[in-house]
Amino acid sequence: MTTATPTPQSNNRRSLGQSQFSVAWQQLRKNRLAQTGGVLLILIYLMALFAPFLAPDGLSNYSTSNITRFHPPTPVHVRDPATGAFTRPFVNKYTQQLNMDTFVNEYKPTAEQCPIYFGVRGAEYKILGFIPGNLHLFGTGQEKPDCNVFLMGGEALGRDLFTRTLYASQISLTIGVGAVLASTIIGLFMGAMAAFFGGFVDTVIMRLVEVISAIPYLFLLLLLRSVFPQDINPILALYVILGILAFIGWGGLARVTRGQLLSVREQDFVSAARALGASDNRVMWRHMLPTMTTYIIVTLSLSIPGFILLESGLSFLGIGAVEPYVSWGSLLAQAQDGGLSSLNSRPWVLIPGFFIVFTVGCFQLLGDGLRDAFDPRKRQ
């Protein structure tokens, strides 16, 4: 019989005690797709934060003298058409004229050039609500007021769609995430109450969960929205939608929390903590709830896309973000303004939808990555 000599481990660093999070972090570092999703999300949130600076115009600016309803996108040229030499980027000025055969207002580029300047002064704004500024990344300046750079065309009132899409990202990216956070807190709290008190409280909470899930979500949303007047303050309307989304979303988590806490309550480490004289509060917050951390991180990241989609849908129906605020969903509602049958004359109003798809895709990549990172069976 030979004794196998243990081969000395060349890399001892990994055998040191590792916390769950450092293992998960290492797993995530290996997942290129999840990393890409994460980085793109950071970029898109930065875009939302600096939207007023990146946008060439103000959120609700439009000219009453030069009406640019559904103005087509203006291509940016960098070569002078006469000489072919590179110049400062410019867009052509557009004129409009009514086609007497079709009665459609047609936009035609003219030879007049509108140079694009970088770092121009324009509409006033406040980043984060308190940093004032009027500097814009690019724009046509104020010398030629009828010159417009419409990267993504104009919308129904002739406002710049690109500007509005950037501003809309602030709302779309906040409400979904905010609603998920709020519903997580409610779900945890309710689940913990149900498990801790048991009896009557437990029955009431679990019945409430059942009832909420028994009513179709769209109708419950509409019903709850109808409690508030239609013409409430637009800012308040955003909070209302956030609250409603949180209210319909907490049920599943409450159920899981209750089940998990009930099973954990019987385990040795909880009895040990109690035997050592820990208070109820300490047992709950330091010993029982932390067993849920992984689950919460994963469900949180996986439920954000659903809420972003739901918010866009509500705004699309006109009960989410209302003027003067916009979200990607309410921008898409513009596709219906003026009849769907003329949609093919203004396809650029569909562009904000791709921002939804992109954001949801990034959240999904990150969420899947996190789920795999915390799952011991998928460890590499």
Partner 1 sequence: MFPFLIRRFFQSIPTLLLASVLIFFVISLAPGDFLTPARLNPGISEQQLANLSASFGLDKPAYVQYFYWMRNMIFHGDFGLSFQYTQPVLPVIWPRIVNSVYLVLLNLVFFYAIAIPIGVYGAVRQNSFGDKAINVVLYFLLGFPSFFLFLIVIYLILNIRNATGWDIPLGGMTSGNYDQLSSLGQFWDVLRHLLIPALVLAVTDAAGLTRVIRGLMLEVMRSDYIRTARAKGVSESSAIWKHTFRNAILPIVAGIGGLLPAAISGAGFVEVVYAYPGITPMLLTAITASDLYLIAGFTVISTILLIIGNALSDILLAVVDPRIKVG
Chain positions contacting partner 1, by CB under 8 A: 207-208, 210-220, 222-230, 305, 309, 312-313, 316-319, 329, 332, 335-336, 340-341, 343-344, 347, 350, 353, 356-361, 364
Question: Could you tell me the two tokens for 30?
Answer: 């290996």
- By beta-carbon proximity to partner 1, the closer residue of 119 and 234 is 234
In the numeric block, the tokens 């906040």 are attached to 174
Spatial distance between the Cα atoms of 2 and 354, rounded to a whole number of angstroms? 66
Spatial distance between the Cα atoms of 136 and 134, rounded to a whole number of angstroms? 6
Of residues 288, 211, 281, the one with CA closest to residue 251? 211
Minimum CB distance to partner 1, residue 318 (Å): 8
Minimum CB distance to partner 1, residue 98 (Å): 21
- By beta-carbon proximity to partner 1, the closer residue of 80 and 210 is 210
- By beta-carbon proximity to partner 1, the closer residue of 149 and 319 is 319
Question: Could you tell me the two tokens for 308?
Answer: 């972003």
| DSSP sequence for 330-341 | HHHGGGGTT-GG
| DSSP sequence for 207-271 | HHHHHHHHS-HHHHHHHHHHHS-TT--HHHHHHHHHHHHHHHHSHHHHHHHHHHHHHHHTSHHHH
- By beta-carbon proximity to partner 1, the closer residue of 80 and 106 is 106
- By beta-carbon proximity to partner 1, the closer residue of 200 and 219 is 219
C-alpha distance across the termini of the chain, in Å: 34
Tell me the sheet residues that pair with 139.
117
- By beta-carbon proximity to partner 1, the closer residue of 56 and 153 is 153
Dihedral of the alpha carbons of 151, 157, 163, 167, in degrees to the nearest 10: -150
Question: Could you tell me the two tokens for 259?
Answer: 């089940």
Of residues 194, 92, 199, the one with CA closest to residue 148? 92
Of residues 195, 180, 181, the one with CA closest to residue 289? 195
Minimum CB distance to partner 1, residue 93 (Å): 28
Minimum CB distance to partner 1, residue 1 (Å): 35
- By beta-carbon proximity to partner 1, the closer residue of 132 and 216 is 216
> Do the beta carbons of residue 79 and residue 89 sit within 8 Å?
no
Spatial distance between the Cα atoms of 275 and 272, rounded to a whole number of angstroms? 5
Tell me the sheet residues that pair with 114.
91
Minimum CB distance to partner 1, residue 316 (Å): 6
Minimum CB distance to partner 1, residue 333 (Å): 9
Minimum CB distance to partner 1, residue 336 (Å): 7
- By beta-carbon proximity to partner 1, the closer residue of 135 and 215 is 215
- By beta-carbon proximity to partner 1, the closer residue of 158 and 329 is 329
Minimum CB distance to partner 1, residue 203 (Å): 10
Minimum CB distance to partner 1, residue 319 (Å): 7
Q: Is 359 exposed, middle or buried (0-12, 13-18, 19+ CB in 10 A)?
A: buried
